[in-house]
Amino acid sequence: MLPPHPKRAGNRIDFGRIHFAMREGRKAGGIMVVHGEDEDLVPVQLRAASARKGAWREATSISSTPKLSELLAFKRTIALARMLW
């Protein structure tokens, strides 16, 4: 049984739930597809881009999200997957 879900946007889940999904998917012979971004970096980067560009709409574009955010998220995700094999 999973603990209560932390407050996050509807399309984001925590690493505990990602690991759970990986375990269950592996049992069923499935493949998991993940889009990852580090939630600690993205809001800071978007605010900085917004301040530079002067418009939140422009700051929310994919060009404003840091590559470091994806790198950190995927390193954690890959580490979780490796624990299953």
pLDDT in tens, 19-62: 999 999 999 999 989 888 887 777 777 777 777 666 555 445 55
Q: Where are the domains of the chain?
A: 34-85
Q: Is pTM, for the whole model, over 0.75?
A: no
Distance CA 57, CA 60 (A): 5
pLDDT computed for residue 27 by the predictor = 92
For the chain, how many helices (H) and strands (E)? 4, 0
Please compute the mean of the pLDDT values over residues 5-15 and round it to a whole number.
72
